[in-house]
Amino acid sequence: MKIALAHKRLDLKGGTERDFYRTAEGLRDLGHEVHLFCSEYGVKPPPDTVAHRIPVLPVGRTARLWSFALSAPAIIRKYRCDVAVSFGRMLEADIVRSGGGSHRGFLERLGGQGGLGRRLWQRLSPYHQSVLAIERCQFQPARYKRIIAVSAEVRRDLMGHYAIPPERIAVLYNGVDQRRFHPSRRENFRSKIRERWQIPEKSPLVLFVGSGFRRKGLDLLLSVWSATGLSDAYLLVLGDDARMSWYKTRARALAGDRIVFTGRQDDVENYYAAADVVALPSLQEAFGNVVLESLAAGLPILVSRQAGAAELLTGALVEGIVDRLDDREELVGKLVKLLDRCADPSLAAEARALGEEFSWERHFHELEALLLQVRNI
């Protein structure tokens, strides 16, 4: 097939951007002719794919948003691809991949947490109102053939906000690189990473991975790190945030040197090898690739019910799901329990076995089947 993949930016920094890049590689490796349609290229396109640039207005994110949404469908049509897949905001596409749920639902959740001031700002924001307008067009029945949701939670969100028929939404979970994230790395990297960041070899270590700290739940972790059951535990934070200096200052006041910030790290797989437990108590998370990376690395994870990937956990791993993020005792209790059990080889084996069920190879074969189906509609 000749396949069009469209997103505003080709890059390897954000979650959607990495998924977009991997999808281009995966479909190429299955023998398809892959065409990329982006307005920005932060990295070189994958070899043996064809890159096209979508022209957008150069000033202001709202202007860029509308430029791409309006221009991309018309430009893609000129190349007569068999199927077009949108990873972002476009007025129409054969398949819309929703990696973050509806923007409408996102604003409702943030507005509920932020109070009247935030809700008023959302209503007055030209950018947010533009995204909502494009989203309303994007999900009109005539403007798409199928929607891909990255979790059942995203599927429920889209159906609830836009009355999309269930048969037009397919849930397709992400995959994980099972060689890159593997328990065998512990032997070589557990001590190296801990020594680099001055974390005692025998101290319990919780890993937090993600940027945009508040949404990912870092504020919640910091608020409980002085709890009795965590008095000896270290927290290793990978990622960036615009308020990094504020977070560092607060962490130092709460727990001294037991909370360590590393910034972004290219070898994130080695940090999983150094950890005992991973924590992702997100306020909002459509999926959460960190969950699959943790499982593949053989680690239990503390994850909020709000994260889409939480629905994948089974058996003893379900004990890491936090139902109420406003319940400090539940958060501390479940984290302490995971740390107490982290040395249990059966728990590590259970995590790894579950992670092995979600390969990128399986993901791309399922995606290919859906593309073939949509081509024939």
Q: Is 70 exceeded by the pLDDT of residue 32?
A: yes
Q: Is 70 exceeded by the pLDDT of residue 58?
A: yes
Q: Is 90 exceeded by the pLDDT of residue 13?
A: no
Domain map (residue ranges) of the chain: 2-175+359-375, 183-355
From CA 328, how far away is CA 349, in angstroms rounded? 29
Tell me which of 194 and 215 has the higher pLDDT.
194
Digit-coded pLDDT (tens) for 153-188: 999 999 999 989 999 999 999 999 999 999 999 999
Digit-coded pLDDT (tens) for 284-333: 888 999 999 999 999 999 999 989 999 999 999 999 999 998 899 999 99
pLDDT score recorded for residue 86: 97
Query: Are residues 181 and 130 in contact, defined by beta-carbon separation less than 8 angstroms?
Result: no
Q: Is 80 exceeded by the pLDDT of residue 199?
A: yes
Could you tell me which residues come within 8 angstroms of residue 283 by beta carbon, excluding any fewer than 6 positions away? Answer: 109, 113, 214, 215, 216, 217, 304, 306, 325
Digit-coded pLDDT (tens) for 241-295: 999 999 999 999 999 999 999 999 999 999 999 999 999 999 888 899 999 999 9
Q: Is 70 exceeded by the pLDDT of residue 224?
A: yes
Residue whose C-alpha is closest to residue 215's, from 103, 333, 106, 338: 106
Average pLDDT over the chain, rounded to whole?
93
Asked if the domains at 2-175+359-375 and 183-355 fall in one CATH topology, the answer is yes
Confirm or reject CATH 3.40.50.2000 for domain 183-355, answering yes or no.
yes
Could you tell me what percent of the chain has a pLDDT over 90? 82
Q: Is 90 exceeded by the pLDDT of residue 124?
A: no
Query: Are residues 72 and 37 in contact, defined by beta-carbon separation less than 8 angstroms?
Result: yes
From CA 138, how far away is CA 132, in angstroms rounded? 10
150-177 in b/e burial notation, b at 16+ Cβ within 10 A? bbebbbbbbbebbebeeeebbbbbbbbe
Residue whose C-alpha is closest to residue 330's, from 220, 201, 210: 220
pLDDT score recorded for residue 366: 97
User: What's the rounded mean pLDDT across residues 38-54?
Assistant: 97
Q: Is 70 exceeded by the pLDDT of residue 113?
A: no
Q: Is 70 exceeded by the pLDDT of residue 340?
A: yes
Q: Is 80 exceeded by the pLDDT of residue 336?
A: yes
User: What's the rounded mean pLDDT across residues 36-55?
Assistant: 97
pLDDT score recorded for residue 163: 86
Q: Is 70 exceeded by the pLDDT of residue 65?
A: yes
Domain 2-175+359-375 architecture: 3-Layer(aba) Sandwich (3.40)
